[in-house]
Each structure stands twice: as C-alpha cells, then as structure tokens.
Amino acid sequence: MEKFKVIIYGLGGGGKLVENLINYEKVEIIAYADSFSNDLYYNNKPLYNKNRLKYVEFDYIIIAAVNNVISEEITEELKQIGLEKSKLLNFYNLTKCYYLDLERKEERLLSNNNEEIAGLILGLSCSHKGINPDFLEGCCYNLSASSQDLYYSYERLKYIYNNYFDRVKNLKYVILDLYCYDYFNYDCSMTINALKFLKNDGFKLSLHNIKYNKNTDIYDYVNEIYTFKELIHVSKINRRNKLNINFENEYGFFPVKKSSYINTPENKDSMKFRVKTFSENILLFDKILSLLYKINSNIKIYCVFLPAFRSKIIHNKSNAAKRFVFSILETFKKEYKFNILNFRYYTPIVFNKELFYDSFHLNEEGAEVFTKILNNIIFKKSNK
C-alpha cells in the first residue's frame, strides 16, 4: 500500500509530539517545514520554508503548533501562497477535538469523584466564563459551553440523569443561563458557530440540525477528522500529552484572566422570531424543567440573564423582546416553580469595565463578584 506523503510544519514540542503520534504504517514523513529555521535539513529530511512548499509534492501538511493563534496564522499563510485547504491539517484543532472527544464534558468532570452534587450550571459562554462554582455552596459543576443552546443543555442534563443519577438524586439547585431575550430563537447547529461548538466540546454529542445549516460544510470537517484519524494514532492522544490547550477547571468553569477590555459591539436586546427554532426550544425548555423536577421535586431553579457591559443605559420604553420572553417564562411558572433573575442591567456590575473581558463576557474577577451575588440570592444571605 502506498503511504501518505506528509510534511510536518513546526520543529518545536508540537512537531515532536506529532512524530510520536504518526501512524508510520500509513505515513511517510517526506520533509519538515518551519517559519524561522535557516537549515536545509532536519532529521535527515529536507527542511523547507513556507514559500518553497508550493513546489513540493505531498499529500498533507500537518501544522504541528500547540497554540491556536499560531496554528491559525500558519494555516492562513499557507493558503495565501496557494496551498489547498484540504491538504492542511491543523494539529491543534484536530487534536483538541479528539482530546475532548475521548470523554464527554460530563464524563471528564463527573468521573473525577463520587461526591454528591448539590448544583449544576447549564448555558453558554456567558455562564461558562461568568459563573464560578468555587463561590457557590456545595459541590457544583458548570456544564455550560461556548455557543451551547437549549438542545445541548438538555442533552447534557439527560446524560447525567441516565448515567450519574446517584450523584444528582438530591440535586438542590440549577442555574439556567438564558443569555439574552432572544435565546428561545437560538439554535447553535444552525449558526456559523456550529462547527466551533462541536470541535470545542465533543464531536459525539449530536449534529442536531446541522445538515440544514447553509453557513458551514459539516462534510468537509468530517472528512478532515477521518483523514486525521488515518494519519495519527488518535488512541494515543490523552492527558499525558502535554498540550498547551486551555481547559476549564475541575468543576467546568473557564476562567478568563483579567486583561484589557476588548471593545466589541454592545449587545442590543432584540427579537428575531424563527418559528421552527422557537417551537423546538419551547419544548426543550419544558423538557429541561420536567426532568429537573423528576430528579428532585423540591429543586430550586434559577433562570438567569447575566450582566452585559454597558457604557450607558439606553431606555427602550417598548422593550418588546423583554416583555415577550418574560411572558413565556411566566406561562411556564404556572406549571413549574422557578425563579427569574435578570442582571442584564444590574448597575453595580454592568458599568464596571474592569469586570469584563468584552461586552458579553465577565472576566475571572467579574465572575467571582457575580457568582458571590448569585450565591447570596440562592442561599438567602445578606449582601454585606
């Protein structure tokens, strides 16, 4: 069988890691490449700079960086000199996918110990970065993820119920991050972030409605995954490989270190009504509430709208989006008992740029401040 001709781009730790993971029964490393080296050979193979690669015959280039920014920069540079995108395999992204895909997020977090779980956090990046379980009472796990919609939150909750019931049978509280007033019209699998969500948080979860997504080509990505699997011993990718990848802490919180605020457009509360998405999400919200009360009929549920940075308060007298979503929640409250906590315009936080990473997300310091406020509300403590 003729072997795949592969070039490894990168001579650092990433390159050495790739060499250890290569499936040599199917792959021949024909050369190396690097952005900075002036040598002509490496490991007795030709060493090329990026501009010479367009004159070399190869099947794939594995970009062996373990830093996402560098990986993306190299990929773009190689595309700009005329190399085919389908021949460029980003080791960082693909390895990250497989590294995470070995276990679902629920497994990675909940298999660490047998402590009874008091609380869960479900939502998307706002709560993933903005609610720190360290400042909530009892054993609490943050099962939020960037771009996670109600469908994937329900998938996580259902998985925990089916596989970890003994640990959640006395679940005391759940925090549902509802993001903004348009969340019931949000379907991650239909957005441009669909593949990013699958890459970042486990390809095995579910494709949901991605086959209807006109913004992305899932099939190209699947082919990239399978190609990577042919070239690399993915079974050897595990926590012993020292990858420079940022993961959540042991309770699922993703801390964002305090740094300069990134200027992004401030979030405007609006409503883009999508009948199919809205209808599905109403059913999913009902399923989430129903399952939570099935776990524990005395559970406390908090539907939370997290703070968003504001340079100033713009008063919208009509605020149709807010009235609409609150009418939905009030309808559900007739059947289920839950609390609505709206911090969208919570002035002690929203005007303080020092607590935000960007207009949508709290930084680590902001998460501590906000979570302590949540804890005081949930456990009825005075704010001193």
Query: Which strands sit side by side in the sheet containing 339-342, from one edge to the other?
Result: 140-142, 119-122, 173-177, 300-305, 339-342
Q: What are phi and psi of 307, to 5 degrees?
A: -65, 145
Q: What are phi and psi of 333, to 5 degrees?
A: -65, -15
Say if residue 124 is exposed, middle or buried (CB neighbours under 10 Å; 0-12, 13-18, 19+): buried
- Distance from C-alpha of 271 to C-alpha of 99, rounded to nearest angstrom: 37
User: Would you kindly state where each structural domain of the chain is located, as residue ranges?
Assistant: 4-83, 105-202+246-378
Paired tokens of 174: 């759940």
The CA radius of gyration of the chain, in Å to the nearest whole number, is 23
pLDDT of residue 1: 72
Which of 1.10.10.970, 3.40.50.2300, 3.40.50.300, 3.40.50.1110 would CATH assign to domain 105-202+246-378? 3.40.50.1110
- Distance from C-alpha of 129 to C-alpha of 254, rounded to nearest angstrom: 5
Beta strands 60-63 and 4-9 are: parallel
Angle (CA) 181-361-69 rounded to 5° is 125
pLDDT of residue 383: 47
- Three-state SS sequence of 29-63: EEEEECCCCCCCEECCEEEECHHHHHHCCCCEEEE
- Distance from C-alpha of 207 to C-alpha of 331, rounded to nearest angstrom: 30
**C-alpha distance from residue 75 to each of 48, 85, 248, 299, 308 (Å):** 16, 8, 26, 48, 33
pLDDT in tens, 243-274: 444 467 889 999 988 777 887 777 777 667 78
- How many Cβ atoms from other residues are within 10 Å of residue 85's Cβ? 10
Q: 4-83, which class in CATH?
A: alpha beta
Paired tokens of 280: 């599905």
Q: What is the per-residue DSSP string for 204-273?
A: TS--TTGGG-SS--HHHHHHHHHHHHHHB-GGG-STTS--------TTS-------PPPP-PPP------
End-to-end CA distance of the chain: 72
pTM for this entry: 0.75
- Distance from C-alpha of 91 to C-alpha of 26, rounded to nearest angstrom: 17
Beta strands 173-177 and 300-305 are: parallel
Residue 264 CB contacts under 8 Å (≥ 6 apart), including other chains:
358, 359, 360
Q: What is the per-residue DSSP string for 115-169?
A: PPP-EEEE-SHHHHHH--GGGSSSSEEE---TT--HHHHHHHHHHHHHH-HHHHT
Residue-by-residue pLDDT tens, the chain, 384 positions:
789 999 999 988 888 889 988 999 999 999 999 887 777 899 899 999 888 898 999 999 999 987 778 888 999 999 999 999 889 998 887 876 655 455 688 988 898 788 999 999 999 999 999 999 999 999 999 999 999 999 999 999 999 999 999 999 999 999 999 999 999 999 999 998 887 787 666 556 688 898 888 876 776 776 777 788 889 887 666 544 444 444 678 899 999 887 778 877 777 776 677 889 999 999 999 999 999 999 999 999 999 999 999 887 665 555 888 899 999 999 999 999 999 999 999 999 999 999 999 989 999 999 999 999 999 999 986 544
Q: Do domains 4-83 and 105-202+246-378 have the same CATH topology?
A: yes
Q: What is the separation of C-alpha 376 from the centre of its chain, rounded to a whole number of angstroms?
A: 28
